[in-house]
């Protein structure tokens, strides 16, 4: 499920079919939209104290992603163009791949990447997501309110227009490598943000088909 807020930043609230790299230093517990509400100040609050995270909504840390001072030429770092001594860790630093639908990171990390690397690594930037905190009570009216989980995963940048993604898909561009396929999450949100785009319907069909294939694969793996 995807939805937008007043700032047109889009969120994903159902992880089914998406691949993720969890780059935070704590576990993510994603709750259903039906169990939460948003206050006028923009805080996400749990409606039902008995509610539990979604069945596939628990994501455990795979290795925190950080910005480091380093002179390393290791390919698991993205070197900053303005400094030879600062590097940004990617999932490859922890033996994983960046080619997932969502790389979940802190706002500090994504802000640094956006400020330094947007022009140099647009595909990686397009996969970055942050978490929206979920409180047990309204923190404005109750100073004792605690963060108990995650309300949604919020894309760090506005997605590109559907036509840009279509040009990179094997279904429409025969020479586009499957290994470099764009983020399904970013493409899904692009279709929602630009529904009138001439390529939106084509892209939405591809996203729907691929998500269904993924879900069937995950179910088969879980049944083994």
Euclidean distance between CA atoms 86 and 112, whole angstroms = 11
Least confident piece of the model among 51-60, 140-149, 172-181: 172-181
Euclidean distance between CA atoms 205 and 171, whole angstroms = 11
Residue 177, pLDDT score: 66
pLDDT at 84 over 50: no
Q: pLDDT, tens digit, for every residue of 5-36?
A: 444 347 888 888 899 999 999 999 999 999 99
In this prediction, residue 203 has a pLDDT band, given cuts at 50, 70 and 90, of very high
Least confident piece of the model among 48-62, 83-97, 180-194: 83-97
Secondary structure letter of residue 37 according to DSSP = E
DSSP 155-192: ESSPPPPHHHHHTT-TTT-TTS-GGGPPPHHHHHHHHH
pTM, 2 dp: 0.85
């Amino acid at each position: 499920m995807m939805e937008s807020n007043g700032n047109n930043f889009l969120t994903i609230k159902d992880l089914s079919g998406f691949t993720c790299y969890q780059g935070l230093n704590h576990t993510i517990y994603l709750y259903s939209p039906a169990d939460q509400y948003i206050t006028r100040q923009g805080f996400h609050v749990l409606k039902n104290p008995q509610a539990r995270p979604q069945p596939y909504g628990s994501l455990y840390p795979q290795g925190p992603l950080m910005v480091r001072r380093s002179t390393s030429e290791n390919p698991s770092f993205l070197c900053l163009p303005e400094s030879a001594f600062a590097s940004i860790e990617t999932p490859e630093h922890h033996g994983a791949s960046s080619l997932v639908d969502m790389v979940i990171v802190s706002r500090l990390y994504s802000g640094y990447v956006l400020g330094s690397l947007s022009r140099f690594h647009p595909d990686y930037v397009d996969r970055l997501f942050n978490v929206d905190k979920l409180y047990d009570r309204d923190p404005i009216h109750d100073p004792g309110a605690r963060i108990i989980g995650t309300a949604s995963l919020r894309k760090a940048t506005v997605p590109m227009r559907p036509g840009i993604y279509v040009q990179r898909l094997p279904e429409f561009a025969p020479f586009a490598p499957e290994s470099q396929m764009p983020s399904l999450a970013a493409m899904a949100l692009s279709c929602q943000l630009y529904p009138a785009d001439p390529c939106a319907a084509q892209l939405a069909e591809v996203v729907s088909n691929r998500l269904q294939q993924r879900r069937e694969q995950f179910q088969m793996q879980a049944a083994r």
